[in-house]
């Protein structure tokens, strides 16, 4: 749906890695289940955008080569919601996360995170907070979640 072209291109790259390295684990995707996504939505009391759910169902537990050096896979998602709020408070950032914000990516250093707003559609824009920046508001980093993922996959 939102990620079909990206997943197709990723599959081509996966096949290339497998042929090149002859190691199946090098190109591994571990998806989430529908039940895991429903549980996450229930715990957070929100409904995730379709493009993001599509990613979770494709490689939500692990997607080799994507989102390196970050907390961005399923087992980290609940925790990084809280850590992001704490980071903003510690740095006295003037804009709080909106109630419909969902943090999906936090760098291992904890110095920056990315999020989208549930209210902004099924393939929402991506915002970033970066510690040390002098901005007084969140910066829009990508026009859509699929643009973010394309950049992760292909470095566009």
Please give the helix or strand (H or E) that residue 102 lies within, else none: strand 101-107
pLDDT computed for residue 65 by the predictor: 60
In this predicted model, what pLDDT tens digit does every residue of 111-146 receive, in sequence order?
Answer: 899 999 999 999 999 999 998 777 788 999 999 999
Give residue 58's pLDDT.
84
pLDDT digits 0-9 by tens, 37-55? 999 999 999 999 999 999 8
Stated pTM of the model: 0.81
In the chain, where the domains are located:
4-154
State whether the Cα torsion 72-76-78-83 is positive or negative.
negative
Greater confidence (141 vs 3) lies with: 141
Instruction: For residue 135, give the nearest of 101, 77, 93 by alpha carbon.
Output: 93
Tell me what the mean pLDDT of segment 16-22 comes to. Answer: 39
> What whole-number percentage of the chain has pLDDT above 70?
76
26 with 18: CB under 8 angstroms?
Answer: yes
Select the more confidently predicted residue: 26 or 87: 87
Identify the CATH number of the domain defined by range 4-154: 3.40.1580.10
pLDDT at 14: 54
pLDDT: which is higher, 143 or 109: 143
The confidence score (pLDDT) of residue 8 equals: 67
């Amino acid at each position: 749906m939102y990620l079909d072209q990206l997943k197709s291109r990723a599959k081509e790259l996966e096949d290339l890695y497998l042929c090149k390295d002859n190691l199946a684990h090098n190109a591994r995707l571990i998806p989430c289940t529908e039940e895991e996504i429903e549980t996450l939505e229930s715990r957070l009391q929100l409904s995730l955008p379709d493009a993001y759910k599509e990613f979770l169902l494709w490689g939500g537990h692990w997607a080799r080569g994507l989102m390196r050096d970050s907390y961005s896979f399923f087992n980290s998602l609940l925790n990084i919601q809280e850590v992001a709020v704490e980071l903003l408070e510690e740095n006295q950032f003037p804009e709080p996360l909106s109630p419909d914000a969902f943090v999906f990516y936090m760098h291992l250093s904890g110095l920056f995170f990315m999020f989208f707003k549930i209210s902004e559609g099924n393939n929402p824009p991506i915002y970033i907070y970066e510690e040390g920046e002098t901005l007084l508001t969140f910066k829009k980093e990508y026009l859509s979640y699929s643009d973010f993922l394309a950049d992760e996959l292909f470095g566009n």
